[in-house]
Amino acid sequence: MFTTRRRIALCTAAISAAALAAAGVVIAATGAQAAAGCRVGYTVSNQWPGGFGASVTVTNLGDPISSWSLTWSYSAGQTVTQAWSATVTQSGSQVTAQNAGYNGSLATNASASFGFNGSWNNSSNPAPTNFAVNGTACTGGVTPTTPGTNPTTPGTNPTTGAPPTQPPGGSGNGLVGWATQNGGTSGGGSAGTTTVTSASALTTALGSTSAAVIRVSGTISCSGMLRVRSNKTIIGNSGATIAGCGFNVNGDRNVIIRNLTFRGWDDDAINVQESATNIWIDHNSFTAGYDGAVDIKRGSDFVTVSWNRVFGHDKSMLLGHSDDNASQDVGHLRVTYHHNWFDGSNQRHPRVRFGNPVHVYNNFYSNVGGYGVASTEGAGVLVEGNYFENTDDPFHLGEGDSGPGTLVARNNFFSNSGSGQTGGSVAGIPYSYSMDSASAVKNLVSQGAGAGRISI
């Protein structure tokens, strides 16, 4: 049996985007529930010798259900080895995924997602083509039995109403937190704007030593890590997507990255390292990648990570890469994380080493499978005004082989979640900021976080 356990890191490989199989699934009637339909999205998106990562989304298109059990079979000897946000068992080629305690009840048009790592034969890894929910095979159609029901197929983004055009709770350009310190963060400022539509053009623009405003249009497919030099503002036009690669801010400063969707990256989506300073990462979406969504390490400092959404992914945000790097990291790694939506992601939200104070406020943690925040190796983390929903382990001290840090928690909101572990004191926050009420964070952040939620 494979299920989520707190404080245990999953495989280094997680989920990236490569192959998708979608099918309609009929849900059998049980008790007072009527037969209805749903959609299953199965993504196998990252493969390495002997292993792969995958994510699955079940969307109920008909009458509400109280639990679900999804089955499929593999045709090429694949085996599930680890899972989160569901209990997954396997007998031969037959796989069964049972809902977790918090995601079994699905209203009409509601979805539940889970992820897993598996093994394959290094020759063929075809996606399953037939699914069944609660024992009823997929038919590809929807047959509502409740009068007046008119099921629709929802998109991949939650239907949370019209997005705000500016970050709620912000002011001016919306920048708050550590990136306002050390002279502030302005990116390319008023420099000329370049619009890029290809990997080669993007690589050239990011790598220029001149200040620039770079607008990304369409989907750019790429691989590896693209170097981002100093004094850059990188903005995604509507629907802009970086598929397959990531951005590497390596020793540079004054960089802004906003309104982009990153998917299927083969290393990190955004890597900030080697004493990079004054970085603002805002209103981006991250899904189905290999390693970290946003990793900050090796003496980097004065960073704000705000209004981002992470979903369908394992390792979200690492702050400090090694227990052995104190000489470079102590006195640095000062980061603000605010108004981010950790939407069913698994761990590192963030996982902190050495940085003090690290400020984690007004974030929405929904259905987090592993843990929320971990303070380790003498770090000091202030966790305040966050909304934790269906998150058994919201925050704790120490992680894996890393010793404990300190963590102060105040004014957080807990819904069907654990109470967390605190201890010690944290250095003072030097900048001004406005706190939203923790009870309002779920609605505020689910409407405002991620790419496509601002007009810039």
Question: Catalytic positions, please?
Answer: 348
Cβ burial 253-273 (10 Å sphere, 16+ → b, else e): bbbbbbbbbbbbbbbbbbbbb
Cβ burial 142-154 (10 Å sphere, 16+ → b, else e): bebeeeeeebeeb
CA distance linking residue 321 with residue 4, whole number of Å: 23
Cβ within 8 Å of residue 376, ≥6 positions away: 320, 323, 351, 352, 353, 397, 398, 399, 402, 403, 404, 405
Token look-up 């999205």 returns 41
Supply 315's token pair: 């390792």
Cβ within 8 Å of residue 404, ≥6 positions away: 375, 376, 397, 398, 423
**E strand residue ranges, 217-300:** 219-227, 232-236, 241-250, 253-258, 261-263, 270-273, 277-282, 285-287, 294-296
Residues found in the chain: 456
SS3 337: strand
CA distance linking residue 317 with residue 319, whole number of Å: 7
CA distance linking residue 442 with residue 411, whole number of Å: 14
Determine the Cα angle at 221 with ends 223 and 282, to 5°. Answer: 90
Supply 231's token pair: 């004094």
CA distance linking residue 32 with residue 65, whole number of Å: 10
